[in-house]
Amino acid sequence: MKKLSLLMLVFGAITMLAGCEPLTIFNPKGPNAETLSNTIILSIITMAFILLVVYTLLAFMLTKYRASKAAADYEPPHEEGSHLLEIIWTVIPIIIVAFLAVVTVRTTSTVEARPDGYDNQEPLVIYASSSNWKWHFSYPEQGIETVNYVNLPVDRAIEFKLYSFGPITSFWIPQLAGQKYAMSDMVTTIHLAADEVGSFMGRNSNFNGRGFAEMEFEAQSMTQQDFDKWVMDVKTHEKPLTEEKFNELLTAEHVGRSSYSSTHLEFRPAPMEHSEHMNMNHTEDSTDSETETHSH
């Protein structure tokens, strides 16, 4: 009966997983996303190898030391423990954890920087701000803004500046980059680049209320020529974003896609960036210390 229940549980899990959307994180379309995907695959292979070794040893022990039809008064011979084996099974987990830690630190350092191959290129800066439950994308260089969709030129470094007009959210485009939190009191930065033309789904990966499931957006990569054409079309045909209209967008819970020929940064600037905030606090602390020193 227990075996039947276990089989039904496994079958149900497989059936539910079959209906899930594809794991797009394993189909990267940018250098930073590829780095993350490779790290995840390496971690899975490492853990699968550990499980294989553990289950193989388990099967060996169960077979070798299974109960036998010995006499009731049989007493097995005394065996001393092996110091070598104890050292081995202590050192091996340390090596595994250290290996995965080094890989994780290197991966984190790589994806936090500008993508490889784009070091000498000026990035396109886009301010991505969230509100309940939508995304606003401001292009300060182009002077335009979009809601619930973002267009990107291929083969160019993109630098998203993230913040929120409400609760903490998490900006995530699985095929282009990892996730990073957007908060109300500071700006965080995430770097990415698209290697090919395509349409990729982005979302908020941090549960923040009843509208969480609908908080998705499309990130479309296109050639630089098509991107420039799209920017010109928005500037020519769309209305400017007024403060009144922006307040309406912030108040509305769910809205569709829209475009504007100006940005909200003009009348509602983004919070101070985290790095600048830290430097300013450090400068103020230093100034206060110097003042106290001189006063003494």
- Total Cβ atoms within 10 A of residue 100: 15
Share of the chain above pLDDT 70, in %: 84
Per-residue confidence band for 75, with pLDDT thresholds at 50, 70 and 90: confident
State residue 254's pLDDT score: 87
Question: How does pLDDT run across 192-246, given as a tens digit for each residue?
Answer: 999 999 999 999 999 988 888 889 999 999 999 999 999 999 999 999 999 999 9
- Note the pLDDT of residue 21: 53
pLDDT of res. 122: 93
Task: Return the sign of the alpha-carbon dihedral for residues 21, 108, 283, 119.
Answer: negative
pTM of the full predicted structure?
0.80
Tens digits of per-residue pLDDT, 145-177? Answer: 999 999 999 999 999 999 999 999 999 999 999
Spatial strand order of the sheet with 149-153 comes to 149-153, 216-222, 198-204, 169-172, 180-182
Share of the chain above pLDDT 90, in %: 70
DSSP 214: G
Confidence of residue 23 (pLDDT cuts 50, 70, 90): confident
Question: If you average pLDDT over residues 184-192, what whole number do you get?
Answer: 95
Give, in order, the Cα–Cα distances in Å from 88 to each of 47, 53, 94, 95. Answer: 18, 14, 10, 10
**The total number of residues written for the chain in this structure:** 296
Question: Where in the chain are the domains?
Answer: 124-275
Q: Is 210 exposed, middle or buried (0-12, 13-18, 19+ CB in 10 A)?
A: exposed
* Token pair for 37: 């995907």
Better-predicted residue by pLDDT, 187 or 80: 187
Contact status, residue 134 vs residue 147, Cβ threshold 8 Å: yes
Token pair recorded at residue 208: 């923040």
The DSSP code for 24 is: G
Name the class of domain 124-275.
mainly beta
Task: Please report how many Cα atoms fall inside a 13 Å half-sphere around the Cα of residue 117, on the Cβ side.
Answer: 9
The predicted pLDDT at position 33 comes to 96
In contact, 249 and 131? CB cutoff 8 Å: yes
Query: Could you give the CA distance from residue 54 to residue 45 in angstroms, rounded to a whole number?
Result: 14
pLDDT band at 77 (very low <50, low <70, confident <90, very high): confident
- Mean pLDDT rounded to a whole number for the chain: 87
Instruction: Provide the token pair at 98.
Output: 């250290």
8 Å CB contact between 188 and 182: yes
- Write down the pLDDT at residue 22: 62
Which string of b and e fits 122-151 if b means at least 16 CB within 10 Å?
ebbebbbbbbbbbbbbbbeebbbbbbbbbb
